[in-house]
A and B are shown apart, each in its own frame.
Chain A
Amino acid sequence: MTDTAPPGWVPVEHRFLGLDRRTFAPALGVLAVALLLLYGLPALNAAIPWRSEIRAGDVLDLGDGATAVPPVGWQLEAGTLTGTGSVAPASLQVRLTTGGATIAVVGASFDGTADAFLDQVLRSEGGATGVDGSRGTVTTASGLVGVALASTGPTGDGLDVAFKMASAAGEAEGAPALLVRVRTTPGQFERRQEVVGTFLRSVTPGAVR
């Protein structure tokens, strides 16, 4: 008479809390590596400080010759300075941070005005157009005109400014769009207002440089 164990049968000497101890090695090995990647890397990342402080004279590359002057002392967490690489304006991602404030600059392809671009951004985030406040005009030192929308909420204050990066007024419709997004913790916006204003005024489209 042959004795064949039913499927899933675990001999008593291999059981631990109802599980088959012989399956522990691959399972725990996988779990250890997965947890290392899932939690170990973020923990290591959190332990390493940012060391990419903006120095006097640094200029941000916004692609196709467009530039902006970042605030000195802020950390450049994403983005490229002029002379250090090439940037595509339609996929631009810049992030500048300092205590309690962030400036994000995002580039996108968009046919239409700066105002329509800001509408599209708000629609994509589920917000009804213009609920946060009335829109204002921002004019940079190079003459570029943007549309600004300020907002405030329990988590902090914000300012979104949309530009079309055209050097001549007639080219604005087809030019790449640029969104400058400022976020601060509550009560911080007033402290950073001047720095933010200086940054916005420094935005320069390519051909003017």
Chain B
Amino acid sequence: MTTFEARTAQLAAIEESGWGQPFRLVQPRNLAFWVYLLGVGGGALAVVRYFGPGAHFYRPALTGGVLLFGLYLVPWLLLLRHQNRYTAQPATLLAAAFAWGGLAATFWIALPANTALLEIWTKLGGTAFASDWAAGLTAPINEEFGKALGLVLLIGLAPRLVRGAYDGFIIGAFIGLGFQVFEDVLYVYNGAAQTFGTDQLGSSFQIFVLRGVAGIVSHALFSAIFCAGLMWVLGRTPGERNVPRGVLTMLAALVFHFAWDDMAGLSGGIGTVAVVLPFVIAAVELITLFYVLRHAARQERTWIRQLLRPEADAGVLDPALLGAVSGLRRDRKAFRKLVHGRRRARHLLEGASDLARELARSRGAETSEVAHARAELLRLRGGGQVPM
């Protein structure tokens, strides 16, 4: 590839990925902003109406729930921050996604929609059928679509930033995490109400343990998969549209959600099956998650390679580092072995990511920030040349 071709590909990658574009939530001329405000505002109002009357009596449970699930958020945010790699999304956009999941999807949409659909299944199939299957036939539909609406609004608010399936994956995970945490607090409140307020801290801790463990393979995962699938259907990046794959991915998320919610019905009352089934479903979910993640990252990795190619050609970073910074986990692992050190590998990868980000922010122009990021990377490499 000539220097001119590499430079053209770099500018095309910056343009296509939208990386470096600022995100503004408040856009009064954008109808998506008003719909977002309606959803989040409606959700906030529903929160006040739901918890308000019992907030005083159930304060120990609510406080316990908010504190416990607030702490629960920390490792999740660290994990998702780690996954927000390649052409990373801005924190403000991810915060907006989280708020949609927690307030709009949970309280504005799912709460009334689930109540209605659960009752419809009870009317159509009877109470015994409903007790086995209604939850799984209700929540996946209302909740997955309710959460995905947030992604569509964010596309409307940041059309240049939300481009590929990997963007859908990360934004979906944040929407799902918001949904999960707010729903968990709702469960804590309902659990305390079920016992009319006896042993509120005990019941909130019990729900924290149960929901916390189940949460590992719950809403954040469902939404990451569903929203990646939606992005494949929408095909907002040239060549990335794949409707069959997108639909199948979305269906997989719906099926996982169904299986998780109707575990009792699926186990058919057989004790052994009831014990083994959650682990089987969790294993299948995680395999699917990594499969989707790998495919969704393909376009992002290409962009990073194109973005850094002129720098690699100029000798700022070597092929091994370029491969690692635009690669998968196994590539980063191989790179760690190559440079004989986890810490050094991390520094080099972060330095290369910084340079890519500054190049994207400057739209490929030579700015003082780009020069500094480049100098930093060269300084890090100077500490010991990366073997070629």
A residues sitting closer than 8 Å to B (CB atoms) are: 7-8, 10, 18-20, 23-31, 33-34, 37-38, 41-42, 44-45, 48-52, 76-81, 84-86, 90-91, 106, 108-111, 117, 120-121, 123-124, 126
Contact = CB atoms under 8 A, between A and B. Distances in A.
Given A8-B27, A38-B109, A77-B119, 7 more contacts: A27-B30, A41-B117, A41-B142, A42-B112, A45-B119, A84-B128, A120-B197
B128 A26 contact: no
A20 B30 contact: yes
A31 B123 contact: no
Contact of A8 (B29, B108, B193): B29
Task: Give the one of A8, A18, A111 with max B CB within 10 A.
Answer: A8
Contacts of B126: 52, 84
Nearest to A79: B127
Contacts of A52: 122-123, 126-127
A58 B32 CA distance: 53
B31 A28 contact: yes
Contact of B194 (A51, A84, A91): A91
A87 B26 CA distance: 49
Contacts of B196: 108, 110, 117, 120-121, 123-124
A33 B145 contact: yes
B49 interface: no
A27 B117 contact: no
B153 interface: yes
Given A41-B113, A124-B196, A30 B152 contact: yes
A38 B38 CA distance: 13
A25 to B, nearest CB: 8
Nearest to A41: B116
Given A19-B29, A38-B108, A80-B127, A26 B57 contact: no
B210 to A, nearest CB: 13
Contact of B29 (A18, A41, A45, A106): A18
B140 interface: no
Contacts of B155: 26
Contact of A124 (B57, B115, B128): B57
Which of A28, A45, A48 has the largest number of chain B CB atoms within 10 A? A45
Interface in B107-156: 108-109, 112-113, 115-117, 119-120, 122-124, 126-128, 131-132, 142, 145-146, 149, 152-153, 155-156
Contact of A85 (B53, B54, B128, B197): B128
Contact of A44 (B28, B120, B149): B120
B290 interface: no
Contacts of B116: 41-42, 44-45
Given A31-B35, A80-B131, A41 B123 contact: no
A20 B159 CA distance: 13
A25 B234 CA distance: 13
B30 A23 contact: yes
Given A77-B122, A78-B127, A79-B127, A34 B29 contact: no
Nearest to A30: B149
B32 A27 contact: yes
Nearest to A106: B194
B32 A33 contact: no
B367 interface: no
Contacts of B269: 86
21 contacts: A27-B153, A31-B35, A34-B149, A37-B145, A38-B112, A38-B113, A41-B113, A41-B117, A42-B112, A42-B116, A45-B120, A48-B120, A49-B123, A77-B119, A80-B131, A81-B127, A85-B128, A85-B132, A111-B198, A121-B196, A123-B197
B198 A34 contact: no
B34 interface: yes
Nearest to B269: A86
Contacts of B127: 52, 76-81, 84
Contacts of B124: 48
Nearest to A14: B29
A120 B198 CA distance: 8
Contact of A27 (B31, B53, B122): B31
Which among B57, B108, B145, B195 has the greatest number of chain A C-beta atoms within 10 A? B195
B168 interface: no
